[in-house]
Amino acid sequence: MHPRPDDASTRPVVVVLCDGERPPAERLAPLESRVDLRYVGPAELPVALPDARALLHWSAPAGTLEAAWSRATRLQWVHYTYAGVDGLLFDALRDSDVVLTNARGAFDRPMAEYVLAAILAHAKQLHLTYDLQRARTWERRDTTTVVGSTVLVVGTGSIGRETARLLRAVGMAVRGAGRTARDADPDFDRVVASSELADHVGWADHVVLLAPLTEATRDLVDEEVIARMKPTAHLVSAGRGLSVDEDALVAALEGGRLAGATLDVFRTEPLPSEHPLWTTPGVVVSPHMSGDVVGDEHTLARQFADNAQRWLAGEPFRNVVDKQLGFAAPEGP
């Protein structure tokens, strides 16, 4: 579907929903002569929506658009500045003809670098080194090399593929886990079915979670999967917190049945101060920041501006989300 504004005599209204900081003005400036940009906060959205043909969902609390949806009578397109769309999708949007696009690709390299950093920090015991430094303790010890180590990347979208390429570049053996098993994949060598994850995690020294949240990935890493990981294995979770059984993970780490976990996403965010993961041995906690880098607001705004130009010209959008599956499918052949 390639909708375009149906009235060429007036500039179409594009609502920019931002709870606080706005997108960089210079990135949207090329659109100002062609569309009527209206910046609104969450409280103003219901008033602005009836005129809107397009919505840039820059930032707002979950549920903001859903609460005002009945007012979106002319809306054709919503652009969401996140890769995962589970925080935005609701039944009425899913069932509508409104096109949804996302920020697929914007976070690929930053998140791949985060995963590499997490694996290197674990292998080289950098977090323990820092703890020993703070205690003024000189304790020499052997660390492990990442060359030849095995990594199972759960999630074979653009983020997973960039991660696989980066890990392979430093000498790791990488496989993927996705919706469909296949051999001879250019980035993963082999892809196993994520529905059979328990049968394959025992191969990996590092299990990396980068899948979007769908019904198939909710609670994917459960007690059985964790129990079948190597006792020396390291879990990196940077996809969605609801994919992991945190109670089972804590029990495995406390029982010495898992070596460590680097966690960027959680079932409840912010992570409650009383949650045991803060103090569980071997756990590194980061506040859902694996894709955040300096200047990423310019990348996100450029993505929207490019798609807006396509919309105005009646050309195909980039990063169209399959609203039933819950993610943007790869483009091209």
Ordered structural domains, the chain, with CATH: 13-106+294-328 (3.40.50.720), 108-285 (3.40.50.720)
Give the pLDDT score at 32: 95
In angstroms, rounded to a whole number, what is the distance separating the alpha carbons of residues 300 and 15?
A: 16
Give the pLDDT score at 278: 98
- Angstrom distances, CA of residue 190 to CA of 148, 176, 200, 312: 16, 6, 11, 41
In angstroms, rounded to a whole number, what is the distance separating the alpha carbons of residues 250 and 92?
A: 37
- Angstrom distances, CA of residue 292 to CA of 83, 125, 289, 322: 12, 24, 5, 25
- Angstrom distances, CA of residue 306 to CA of 14, 303, 315, 320: 14, 5, 11, 13
In angstroms, rounded to a whole number, what is the distance separating the alpha carbons of residues 26 and 24?
A: 6
Contact between 37 and 14 (Cβ < 8 Å)? yes
In angstroms, rounded to a whole number, what is the distance separating the alpha carbons of residues 286 and 262?
A: 8
Long-range contacts of 42-45 (CB under 8 A, 24+ apart): 42/17, 45/15, 45/17, 45/71
Give the pLDDT score at 10: 84
- 3-state secondary structure at position 189: strand
As averages over each run of 10 residues, the pLDDT of the chain (333 residues) reads 63 96 96 97 98 97 97 98 96 98 98 98 98 98 98 97 98 97 95 98 98 96 98 98 98 98 98 98 98 98 98 97 90 47
Give the pLDDT score at 7: 57
Q: Which amino acid would we find at residue 248?
A: A
Tokens of 116: 């590499």
Q: Which amino acid would we find at residue 153?
A: V
Contact between 316 and 329 (Cβ < 8 Å)? no
DSSP state letters, 41-63: -GGGHHHHGGGEEEEEEEE--TT
Give the pLDDT score at 107: 98
- 3-state secondary structure at position 310: helix
Give the pLDDT score at 35: 98
